[in-house]
Structure 1
């Protein structure tokens, strides 16, 4: 009896604390999760916890680029609510385990967006829709059902409030797949355990994930009165079908299950659905461990608390618009990568076998061509423990990968290699340089060297997109990727040269001099595609000659033999030598010549929208909507003109970020567009993503407080900042004048105060800076 009294007192105490917390303004109150859900941002408002495996929320389409996040703000009808989604990417994938609550006549086919009455989809209005971190709500107007969602790490929790009816239905659509109306579904299975419990799995195959296994366990809050199974075209399965076994253990290529209920007015039926990559048993264990009760409001509050903890790592003060943009960006930097293991530690690896993690969280969803630039450097500040786990995950991936490669663009137990570069290298090297890795240094070096020396595949026999390691045999022999044999040879050469340099950086710290020397040499391979006549990086053929004709503003086309650059042109890839910016300046003819070239980049005449969908957000030929340009605005610091960087940062903020659904100028890209904003709003950016050096821009906020995991606080103040006062007049670090245009990672995580004094005109601040470290092709920190 005493134990029960203590428990009841504890529950009362928790509820009282929650009431007190909710009565005060929280950071989560400032997050507009709809920012990025319009335009081509491809983010979602779904219910999830930070880095959770489940993101429960609405889907509006399965085909087309703007189906990528599941939801789009311009949609006027919804299909239902699935459990797994991608945020901000250009990939149309996932949308697993769609739940569809309906009333009245059973409809099995989805119908068309332009004609919702043709299927089970329902109209909705933004006036009866709401969302915040960890929670989503919408009223399905065609059925008068209020749908609410929240989540734990591995469980989606749905609450559907029905009208009074004896024809209430909840469909589980295992055909639905954001990749083409189920065209990628290979096999589905449903097992009815009892009238409230269902388990099963679905195996899908697509260009992005050739073999993806997802198991589930689902519980209803009340028993269903009956059930039916339907094929993709809506026809009922019956016992004459060979693959049906008493309607309780059901396997088919594609299947939809409808569970029927009777409800009173405003009666809520709740559904818990857990996922696993391993087994139905594990999915059930995930469900019972993380969500053993039916208290929806409690889970919603717990999800909010988890978000509040993460978002409180950076607290800012600024204009309402900039605060909204900042917190939306910080929110998006807590979505991917996602947790990949079950509560018992098991996960399915790249070898399709079951493995177990004990000492760290295992992750998936690495869009590394995007996120190595700023997302992962930001993690080394605000997610240091998580960064160590991410590196451990990458080493697991490499060991289990049949190709022995580190991840490139990986999701679940698949590698799709859809983008170029070996960008796990800078992520690993940067974490190692900052003391955040948990593995032995030589294991880190070995994983990178093995990946770097894989010969690759013949690009003509591989996929039609762009595996980042194809043609590596040519790069190892010639020092460049020859066009005609390799697609986008210029871009691949530049990015591999940088990645190789980061191996040298890590090897230098570990004391592996042989690897350091070898990869320092490879770090200069960008010189092999430099044309001294045009002063651009150009496509070089296998015979050593540059491909003709050459137009530096031309974008690639899909013709295999006319694709020199990845999602860009010669102007946009001219600047990708982040480890040897001063060497690039010398190649151009000196710092003044480089400054003039930057001026030309930002003032080139507008030629209209690019033929490449990812290229957007243009200032001249600078394209902020795509990642290769993200560091370019900061390069004026290297040539003695930091005020031009300061002006550009405010222009980019004004023109390409909005506190609105179409708030991103391009794909948010799994956190990278947001990470650019988080860094830039604080006033600095990792031009070279490995090594821990941040280059100053111009702050966008009055004050920032970073609450670091090591217990330290780093405060940033921008005195006199205003719409006009965008130029840095002077800087102080911990009360002392600071003249460099860069700051070290260690100065930030040690805690302290960075103070900007702002004015309306350019100043001479930064003119006497020391050279930016790690910007001359070496791996020594000479400051």
Structure 2
């Protein structure tokens, strides 16, 4: 589905919605006299791009999948809570993921308040959902889901609308940073309702009918609560709480549960720790018992269940990661929830007085651990109990309210959220949407996003502008700002603090170009993010790595080093640089603890110069760790130099060369090395989970990883046998389509030609890739967007430059897709890039001028950008092999 066809229609709709605040003309809201007049770009954006499988021919291994993993997110940039339609709780792809929305699914289950990091493969922490309906209230998401047509959807970053066909309800909503605002247009019905649930976990709910409110919270890992307050502009006539089953405790398992814990994730060998639990109703932030590893352990729980009634019993098992449950030796639950929490249900007919052996096997991944076993017995409940408990406030699977509506009656509802408490959720709601004026709320959101998009104004084809502004929108969804009125609830010490905190930082991905983009156009918020990182260090002991919401022991390297260094050397200030350097040194010298993996294998890296494969094998990513530790050390060296710490600079520059220890002369590629110095066999698949699949898949992994040396291209070229040999490697690499743009290992690779004296090759490769992989289509992303990293890679390439080595204040020039780009770099300054005679055919730079003077470099300095000015390219159909060669290294 090419979305450009809907551009005009959607623009008209959006302009109509915000008519009281906007006119549909360029040039309104003039800003600084030196900056371009404000334009309107929301009409070009469709947030459904990336919600279907890529329509491009993607190079991808069996362990990956060319899916954007994004949803049509609504809410302010970096919102505490985003909102999106939910078509699924879980979806079976290569991994089972909790992505809320998939374009190819035919029903909407509700509208989710989500903290799923857009485009990633992790958990959705603290979600809630709500669903309007008519008729009998249905609690379970799949059963209540309604068919819908994509033709009825409008999907913008500030507004979403759809027709729920099964209920004949038009649902539309906008959202700010902490509050959503819904408007439901109902048919005539005596039983119009809205049901609320916690998506993956139960919640606490309380109905306050005299205020037209529902309040409550869901619990994440026992430490993080998603508090909410929902306020309607209509009186409730009926309300009810869907009660929770009882916890399986001593009343049902008299002798409790024997718990056997293993310090491996395969139940191998003898248990390392054996304890007894009276019930399984726990949220473990770290280890479940003394002597058990915090991550990647396994457990076996066994107990004897004694039925008190005859009939159907419903077991609900809420866990995380991998879980199997057996009753009398028969497996009844077998689930793997990848890095995420979920609830599995099993129904069984049991006989009063009979004993049933229950066994639960649990396989832990990273982060926290949940283990809750409940059972609903075949006992008829008092129908008055649900409403009574709703008024009192109680735990439940869901809560709902019902009222009568006239035909086409609009019912409005605001939902404020908070991680601090319910009072703060109510305050957030009243601050962001103080009244029930829906049109004004939509206009307010539109203004926020138009201001964001106007930071970069571009000219080009309508299709290119649609791709660009949709991508730019995705660059502003994450990281997540936890600030609530100057305070935040810390995921690292569970206290409320004043100051800054951000989470859902996919730093392993986003250090490459997302954060460098923010340095240019969001310098103040970059300062806030770094202060948030330093607060993480003070409260948790380490800089963040992939917080979601707290430390996760996933991915390699400690690339907060790169984010902080890149910002500092480009002039970002307002944070404690000495404290930052202290934290970076800790990354480079100490093993992780307190649930933080840090640089896994750092002791070996510092002792023998690489991470050995026989110590850190499959899943350990030892070769990648060696490469990435070397790069991080380069960044620490640059930070040391900027701070005048010459001894540290010299030391860490030496450390940055250790990547050479995993480059093998025999194969000319990276290769795993054992502790004793012996190489693994060439193309050994155990080097990484990403190297699995066919032999070609494995070769693709090796070829991409070999280029993971952005900080020392001359050194890599020397290993290859000289510049020309590395050029030949790159030519073969791209000609054979071995570059996987949907993952980040070698995102800088197309720009390496610039440093090797062949800038016209960079121009062609980047232009070809942008055309091949990115589209104004639901399948228009070439892989996981990873919190905006893939989209930011496109944004830079389309503008005509890229930060190929974060930590250096240098941008490599490519071939602009867009004819003109105006970048608002602040203080009334604009950096303009113009590509004259630009077209798909005319992709090569013939000549250039910078501020009116001839320019013959294939790169430019950050200072050139931030001072404002004009970089003009003359484009043509054939490469000018003499352009860009002056001091190309």
**2:627 pairs with 1:497:** no
Deviation of the 1:566 alpha carbon? 11
CA contact (8 A) 1:683 1:699 kept: yes
Equivalent-residue separation in structure 1 for 2:768 and 2:570 (angstroms): 32
Q: Which one is further off, 749-758 or 529-538?
A: 529-538
2:258 equivalent in structure 1: none
CA contact (8 A) 2:630 2:658 kept: yes
Please report the TM-score for the alignment, with normalisation by the length of structure 2.
0.76
1:313 equivalent in structure 2: 455
Equivalent-residue separation in structure 1 for 2:123 and 2:228 (angstroms): 22
Equivalent-residue separation in structure 1 for 2:387 and 2:551 (angstroms): 34
Deviation of the 1:457 alpha carbon? 6.4
**2:18 pairs with 1:20:** no
1:475 equivalent in structure 2: 605
Count of residues in Structure 1 that have an aligned counterpart in Structure 2: 708
Equivalent-residue separation in structure 2 for 1:216 and 1:18 (angstroms): 29
CA contact (8 A) 2:242 2:386 kept: no
1:526 equivalent in structure 2: 659
2:51 equivalent in structure 1: 37
Q: When you count strand as a share of all residues, which structure comes out higher? A: 2
Question: SS at the partner of 2:614?
Answer: coil
1:107 equivalent in structure 2: 138
Question: How do 1:46-445 residues align onto structure 2 when only pairs under 5 Å count?
Answer: 46-64=73-91, 68-84=98-114, 85-94=116-125, 96-111=127-142, 119-174=143-198, 176=199, 182=200, 185=201, 188-195=203-210, 196-205=212-221, 212-231=224-243, 246-252=389-395, 254-357=396-499, 361-401=500-540, 404-412=541-549, 414-445=550-581
CA contact (8 A) 1:191 1:249 kept: yes
Equivalent-residue separation in structure 1 for 2:557 and 2:698 (angstroms): 11
Q: 1:730 aligns with which of 829, 847, 850?
A: 847
Equivalent-residue separation in structure 2 for 1:651 and 1:545 (angstroms): 41
Unaligned runs of 5+ in 2: 1-17, 29-38, 54-66, 245-313, 315-344, 346-375
**2:752 pairs with 1:635:** yes
Equivalent-residue separation in structure 1 for 2:124 and 2:659 (angstroms): 34
Equivalent-residue separation in structure 2 for 1:745 and 1:554 (angstroms): 41
Equivalent-residue separation in structure 2 for 1:509 and 1:767 (angstroms): 28
1:777 equivalent in structure 2: none
Deviation of the 1:669 alpha carbon? 1.2
CA contact (8 A) 2:599 2:629 kept: no
Equivalent-residue separation in structure 2 for 1:698 and 1:478 (angstroms): 42
1:569 equivalent in structure 2: 701
CA contact (8 A) 1:481 1:492 kept: yes
The 1:743/1:228 distance shift into structure 2, 3 A limit, reads same
Q: Which one is further off, 283-292 or 65-74?
A: 65-74
Q: Deviations over 1:647-703 (max 9, x none)?
A: 111210111001101001111111111111111111111110122211111111111
2:886 equivalent in structure 1: 769
Q: Deviations over 1:346-366 (max 9, x none)?
A: 323311222121xxx532210
1:748 equivalent in structure 2: 865
CA contact (8 A) 2:51 2:102 kept: yes
Equivalent-residue separation in structure 2 for 1:65 and 1:665 (angstroms): 19
Q: Which one is further off, 129-138 or 231-240?
A: 231-240
Larger Rg: 2
Please report the TM-score for the alignment, with normalisation by the length of structure 1.
0.86
Unaligned runs of 5+ in 1: 1-14, 112-118, 177-181, 605-618, 773-783
Equivalent-residue separation in structure 2 for 1:325 and 1:16 (angstroms): 25
Deviation of the 1:765 alpha carbon? 3.4
RMSD between aligned alpha carbons?
2.8
The 1:238/1:125 distance shift into structure 2, 3 A limit, reads same
The 1:16/1:638 distance shift into structure 2, 3 A limit, reads closer
CA contact (8 A) 1:73 1:661 kept: yes
Question: SS at the partner of 1:410?
Answer: coil
CA contact (8 A) 1:239 1:246 kept: no
Equivalent-residue separation in structure 2 for 1:347 and 1:711 (angstroms): 36
1:608 equivalent in structure 2: none
Q: Deviations over 1:721-775 (max 9, x none)?
A: 1121111111111111111111111101100000111111111234532143xxx
**2:679 pairs with 1:655:** no
The 1:768/1:130 distance shift into structure 2, 3 A limit, reads closer
CA contact (8 A) 2:241 2:387 kept: no
The 1:101/1:567 distance shift into structure 2, 3 A limit, reads farther
